[in-house]
Amino acid sequence: MSLVWKSWTLPDHIVNWNYASDSWHCPKAENKLQPDGRFSFRMEAKDGCMGFDFSGKYLDIKEGESISSVLDDGRNVHVKFEQKKEYVIVSQEFEAEKDNSEELQKKGWQAILENFKSYTESLAAIVRMNFEILIKAPVEKVYETMLAEDTYKQWTYAFYPGSFYRGSWDEGEKILFIARDSEGNEGGMVARVKKSIPNEVVSLEHYGILDKGEEITEGPEISIWAGALEEYRFEPVAGGTLLKIISDTNREYQEYFENTWPKALESLKSICEN
């Protein structure tokens, strides 16, 4: 549900699906998601021959459940989100305008919903990323520095300040990757160590999330991450260690990890070399 809600409400997502045909697009979206908050989605033909602002204000919002709004022309719109076991049903009711037939309007609104479905499902698809860095230090030092509690907190600071782990890096063991929010609530990922050979490889399989200190390993929110791989390989080379990373994510977080993993690895390199 959280991914569906974000895709429906965040402007960076809305611009990727809010149009009825491939000849149109949504170049700009503004959205203040709160009662009396305004929204404005610019919808234009790609050739620039026509366009309009789809705008209005929100009446009522129940996160993860429903959104009610009124358009600037006075028509009411109600969107309902219903969580099933493995999927979410999004249904939309709207008052038709008078210039076009109801059937034509239904087709247009349904086409936008289909675009939303395709885009949002694509966000959940697993993307495998690879990173590597040459560190001028022996394999043993790189391995120890990467996994030791104190230095782990240092190099993972790039992901989230105060990140830490709880558990063991031994093969077959459970390990939690944790960060605390401003109120002290623990959140993060739950993983098991699939393979662990000291100074050679550590391979992790994510199978759950940590939400306010509770381990959640079943349900639709978990299906996005279940089986995601994270692997560290330590290869001795002339002048030091070639550290290779495999990290699975989804499209929603791909850009974040593409930017953050290199920063974290540079931090690890600095710690190992100094």
pLDDT tens digits, 127-159: 999 999 999 999 999 999 999 999 999 999 999
Return the minimum-mean-pLDDT range out of 40-49, 74-83, 95-104.
95-104
Task: Please check whether residues 56 and 130 belong to one and the same domain.
Answer: no
Task: Please check whether residues 41 and 168 belong to one and the same domain.
Answer: no
Distance CA 207, CA 194 (A): 12
Q: What is the pLDDT of residue 150?
A: 96
The domain that holds 58 is classified in CATH as 3.30.530.20
Q: What is the pLDDT of residue 253?
A: 87
106 CB-near residues (< 8 Å, 6+ apart): none
Task: Please check whether residues 114 and 134 belong to one and the same domain.
Answer: no
- Domain end among 123, 141, 165: 123
Task: Please check whether residues 63 and 131 belong to one and the same domain.
Answer: no
* 36-53: average pLDDT: 93
- Using CA atoms, how far residue 244 sits from 69, 132, 202, 254, 260, in Å, is 49, 4, 11, 18, 15
Specify the number of domains making up the chain. 2
What are the phi and psi torsion angles at 84 (to 5°)? Answer: -100, -175
- Domain end among 123, 142, 170: 123
Task: Please check whether residues 26 and 105 belong to one and the same domain.
Answer: yes
* pLDDT > 80? residue 245: yes
* 253-266: average pLDDT: 95
Contact of 163 with 177, CB cutoff 8 Å = yes
Task: Please check whether residues 167 and 239 belong to one and the same domain.
Answer: yes
* Full residue range of the structural domain in which residue 53 is found: 2-123
Maximum Cα–Cα distance across the chain? 74
- Domain end among 85, 103, 123: 123
- pLDDT: which is higher, 226 or 96: 96
Distance CA 120, CA 114 (A): 10
Average pLDDT across the chain, whole number? 93
* pLDDT > 90? residue 86: no
Q: What is the pLDDT of residue 91?
A: 94
For the chain, give the percent of residues with pLDDT over 90: 80
Q: What is the pLDDT of residue 121?
A: 85
Q: What is the pLDDT of residue 1?
A: 80
Task: Please check whether residues 148 and 255 belong to one and the same domain.
Answer: yes
Confidence of residue 220 (pLDDT cuts 50, 70, 90): low
Return the minimum-mean-pLDDT range out of 193-207, 218-232, 248-262.
218-232
Q: What is the pTM of this model?
A: 0.69
Task: Please check whether residues 21 and 117 belong to one and the same domain.
Answer: yes
For the chain, give the percent of residues with pLDDT over 70: 99
Distance CA 99, CA 43 (A): 18
Closest CA to 29 of 46, 9, 47, 49: 9
Task: Please check whether residues 183 and 248 belong to one and the same domain.
Answer: yes
Task: Please check whether residues 135 and 268 belong to one and the same domain.
Answer: yes
Task: Please check whether residues 179 and 158 belong to one and the same domain.
Answer: yes
Confidence of residue 125 (pLDDT cuts 50, 70, 90): confident
